[in-house]
Structure 1
Amino acid sequence: MTTAKALRYTAGGFGLVLIGIGAWLVVRQPGPAGVLLWLAGALLLHDAIIAPLVLAVGLLLVGRHQRGVLRGALMVAGSLILVTLPALVRPGEPPSSSSLPLPYGRNLVIVLAAVAAVAGAVVLVRWWRVRPHRSRRADD
């Protein structure tokens, strides 16, 4: 067995353990139906809207070599929005002062800008590596 294969199986096993712990914690909740409904909605939102949108934008906007960078950035951005959205759109006051102590909307915009900046930097570095470089001595 190769090292990569062993790491893949280890990561998969660790993921299955975490899924089991999460399922156990949800079942132990006094009202697990709300959590399960939210999880089902999140899964549906991801599979029906976010993933196809990311794939379509990746196919339409980017050349063949940069498609993966855009898809990755859009997946990270979509996941961040999906995680933050419930806290942002919840009506009324937070249930406790510690549940929303920071301005989530502003921080989400900052993190999304950082994701876009990193993706842009990766695209620029890749473009710079593949463009033809002329030697300065050839110009002299």
Structure 2
Amino acid sequence: MKVSVPRVLAGAAGVALMGVGASLLLDVRDLTGVLVWLGGAVVLHDVVIAPVVLLVGLVLVRGGARGPVRGALLVAGAMTAVALPVLLRPGKPANSSVLPLDYPRNWLLALAAVAAVTTLLAAVRGIRGIRRRPPS
């Protein structure tokens, strides 16, 4: 089996980045705290996130939802994953310049924009599908 050059380069870059991450762990003062956090992330992913994603995917496929809805869920999930640290931050920081915006509101507005674009795409696809069907 022949291995392509880009695949070898990607693998080498991945191994190098793992080495960088491992070397950075040597500078951590509270290694047990980091290991607990990493373990919690694995448990959260394997016990909560992955089963929910699989269940939603199954419901969508059985329900007939196709591309735009699945794409919107993917975008919404990625936006939520990026925004989660700010959304879960308890209370207001002492320095108001640290988090100067209303992040939960902006996250909801971004989700609403994703939903609106998805609805528009689904409507356009539906109209195109109706127009393209031959008369019976």
Quickly name the TM-score band, shorter chain normalised.
Answer: 0.5 to 0.7
CA contact (8 A) 1:77 1:112 kept: yes
- How far did 1:70 drift? 4.2
- Aligned-partner Cα distance in 1 for 2:29–2:114: 37
CA deviation map 1:41-79 (0-9, x unaligned): 22221221122112211211345671x654454344334
Query: Is 1:22 paired with 2:27?
Result: no
CA contact (8 A) 1:69 1:119 kept: yes
Report the TM-score when normalising by structure 2: 0.62
Relative to 1, partners in 2 of residues 1:133 and 1:117: Cα closer, same or farther, differing over 3 Å?
same
Q: Secondary structure at the match of 1:91?
A: coil
Q: Paired residue for 2:33?
A: 34
Query: Cα RMSD (Å) of the superposition?
Result: 3.7
- Aligned-partner Cα distance in 2 for 1:10–1:125: 42
Structure 1 residue ranges without an equivalent (≥5)? none
Percent of aligned pairs with the same amino acid = 49
- Aligned-partner Cα distance in 2 for 1:77–1:70: 10
Q: Secondary structure at the match of 2:99?
A: coil
Report the TM-score when normalising by structure 1: 0.61
Q: Paired residue for 1:104?
A: 103
Query: Is 1:56 paired with 2:55?
Result: yes
Q: Paired residue for 1:84?
A: 83
- Aligned-partner Cα distance in 2 for 1:12–1:32: 27
Q: Secondary structure at the match of 1:28?
A: coil
Structure 1 stretch 42-51 or stretch 24-33: which is displaced more?
Answer: 24-33
Larger RCO (CA within 8 A; separation ≥ 6): 2
CA deviation map 1:84-122 (0-9, x unaligned): 333323334426444322221112112323443454455
CA contact (8 A) 1:88 1:105 kept: yes
